[in-house]
Amino acid sequence: MSTFTIDTATSRATPTPAPMKRVTVPSVRARKGGEPLVVLTAYTVRHAQLLDPHCDMLLVGDSLGQVIYGLPSTVPVSLEMMCAHGAAVVRGSYHALVIVDMPFGSYEASPEQAFASAARVLKETGAAAVKMEGGEAMAPTVRFLTERGIPVMGHVGLTPQAVNLLGGYGARGRDAAEAEKLVRDAAAIAEAGAFSLVIEGVVEPIAVEMSRAAACPTIGIGASAACDGQVLVTEDMVGMFERVPRFVKRFGEVGQAIGAAAEHYARDVRARAFPTPEQTYQPK
């Protein structure tokens, strides 16, 4: 359990935050059809601090399995991992609404299992909501949680936890039958009480239909600018990886900058140019 706080006067990891009220679940729900919602993933304190002033929501995604741990998919991610990273993001933020992904196997068996897992996440992290993948079949679980005070963000379309069933990460909604089901999925999850809904990897015309069918705000990722907001994996967005999905726009080249800094550091160390007297302690 992570309930401690960090001394902001002595820790460079936690500068003193400016006073600001956090975004709330009702305020997000009220943004349907309004100003687009800005969402990015975060897994660490420092990333949360840097992203927080610019985002309405920070998503502690199970994508951390691939981004942080180098796993082949999100399937191996555990509830313990999500709780640890969720608590870090909450500690590093003071403005954005923080949502934590429910990992594969922690909620699908029954609404009761989902409630137990979600309650643990909220207790151990301090986050405001959880996210669950799945369409119509998960609607009863979404309703069960929301009726018991746990806000849920839905996730339909390309659902990475079901990659083995889907056969890969290709865009969804290319045939009429699947497109019709996706629209039903979006409407069902919203009607069940989800306060927002991620639409991932869906061909654009169908994503637009899904956004219209959902009563709650929709957050697109590889979907459409017509959604009520957008989310990207931060490491993709800032250029940490050489390969990124088609739907990602690189807004920076942080990976290149880190590599260049490491190269410069290595060169100075090998040349005994670092440390200099400015970085060492001399006798008084």
pLDDT digits (tens, 9 = 90+) for 56-111: 999 999 999 999 999 999 999 999 999 999 999 999 999 999 999 999 999 999 99
Q: How many Cβ atoms sit within 10 Å of the Cβ of residue 65?
A: 23
Q: Is the pLDDT of residue 42 over 80?
A: yes
Question: Residue 3's pLDDT band (boundaries 50, 70, 90)?
Answer: very low
Please give the CATH topology (third level) of the domain spanning 25-238+245-273: TIM Barrel (3.20.20)
231-270 pLDDT, tens digit per residue, is 999 999 999 999 888 899 999 999 999 999 999 999 999 9
Contact 169, 163 (CB under 8 A): yes
Could you read off the pLDDT of 11-28 as tens digits, one per residue?
555 555 555 689 999 999
pLDDT, tens digit (0-9, with 9 covering 90-100), for 148-173: 999 999 999 987 676 666 656 578 77
Binding-site residue positions for 3-methyl-2-oxobutanoate: 62-63, 101, 131
Q: Known catalytic residues?
A: 200
- Can you tell me whether residue 17 is helix, strand or coil? coil
Q: Residue 16 has what pLDDT?
A: 53
Task: For tokens 């403005």, name the residue.
Answer: 95
pLDDT (0 to 100) of residue 4:
47
Kindly report, residue by residue over 194-225, the tens digit of the pLDDT.
999 999 999 999 999 999 999 999 999 999 99
pTM of the model: 0.91
The annotated binding site is made up of 62-63, 101, 131, 133
In the chain, the amino acid numbered 104 is F
For residue 1, what pLDDT is reported? 43
What are the tens digits of pLDDT across the range 99-146?
999 999 999 999 999 999 999 999 999 999 999 999 999 999 999 999
State the pLDDT confidence band at 9, using cuts at 50, 70 and 90. low
Contact 88, 3 (CB under 8 A): no
Record the tokens describing residue 76, joined without a space. Answer: 């191996």
- Name which of 33, 88, 77, 28 is nearest 56 in CA terms: 28
Retrieve residue 169's tokens. 């990460």
Q: Where are the alpha helices (DSSP H) in the chain?
A: 25-29, 45-51, 64-67, 79-91, 111-125, 139-146, 163-166, 176-191, 204-213, 234-237, 254-270
User: Annotated binding residues for Mg(2+), as ranges?
Assistant: 62, 101, 133
In the block, residue with structure tokens 């151990």: 124
